[in-house]
């Protein structure tokens, strides 16, 4: 039996059973295991600073106040998102927050691929501005943390606490898989967490300003993302 859970030992390693009948539905136990199992330079939390991200940041800070958190700055986020990051820095001053930008500026991208690539080829735009940068962040890591919840969409309903990530050849740890939308907000309000003010204006899922609208389907919290394109994921979780 493998001693550490990695991409190459995923089938050999016996992951622990995490209790889910507690206030955090296993999330805190998963995080305690992850930050014990991996060293600080082996584990990264890729955070988009949505409300799930705020919950995870608060939980992570209880386990490792100096955790590495990476934000993929596409240069097209809402100002409210950038404002929130500064609030997080103030509340959790010891966290190691990395702002990761793509190699191409928006001007360089336009010269190479044409103006408004997010409209003409949103998959390519996400690849350049999110997928490749995350791959660079994870190049020296063994595992990464994500705020995926099973309730979010059909493509996420089978997510486990630990997942073999074939895209990034990594282990993806998802502590919030059993949380509902109500659970997330209940925790946020109970703990007076700062959050993106766009959540108060019909944006349950917040990405780039160019590709995010208020949700139009109450049963699909991600219905405001890439509206009318048929695209449902940025590529990080496919």
Q: Are 207 and 63 in contact (CB under 8 A)?
A: no
The residues, ordered by sequence, that sit 6+ positions from 173 with a Cβ below 8 Å of its Cβ are: 30, 34, 43, 143, 144, 145, 146, 161, 162, 163
What is the CB neighbour count within 10 angstroms for residue 87? Answer: 15
CA–CA gap between residue 98 and residue 47 (Å, rounded): 10
Q: Are 5 and 141 in contact (CB under 8 A)?
A: no
Strands 68-72 and 143-145, how do they pair?
Answer: unpaired
Q: Are 135 and 143 in contact (CB under 8 A)?
A: no
Active site residues: 234
What one-character DSSP code corresponds to residue 225? B
Helix (H, G, I), strand (E, B) or coil at 227: coil
CA–CA gap between residue 168 and residue 72 (Å, rounded): 15
């Amino acid at each position: 039996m493998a001693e550490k859970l990695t991409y190459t030992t995923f089938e050999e390693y016996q992951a622990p059973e995490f209790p889910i009948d507690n206030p955090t539905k296993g999330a805190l136990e998963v995080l305690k295991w992850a930050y014990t199992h991996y060293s600080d330079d082996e584990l990264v939390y890729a955070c988009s600073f949505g409300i799930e991200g705020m919950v995870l940041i608060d939980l992570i800070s209880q386990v490792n106040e100096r955790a590495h958190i990476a934000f993929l700055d596409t240069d097209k986020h809402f100002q409210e998102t950038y404002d929130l990051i500064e609030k997080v820095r103030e509340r959790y001053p010891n966290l190691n927050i990395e702002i990761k930008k793509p190699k191409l500026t928006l001007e360089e991208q336009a010269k190479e691929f044409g103006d408004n690539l997010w409209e003409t080829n949103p998959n390519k735009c996400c690849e350049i501005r999110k997928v490749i940068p995350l791959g660079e962040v994870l190049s020296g890591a063994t595992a990464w943390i994500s705020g995926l919840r099973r309730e979010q969409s059909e493509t996420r309903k089978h997510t486990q606490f630990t997942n073999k990530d074939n895209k990034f050849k990594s282990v993806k740890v998802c502590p919030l898989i059993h949380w509902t939308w109500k659970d997330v907000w209940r925790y946020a309000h109970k703990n007076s967490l700062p959050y993106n003010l766009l959540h108060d204006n019909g944006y349950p899922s917040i990405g780039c300003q160019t590709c995010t609208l208020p949700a139009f389907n109450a049963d699909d919290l991600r219905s405001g993302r890439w509206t009318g394109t048929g695209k449902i994921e940025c590529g990080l979780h496919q």
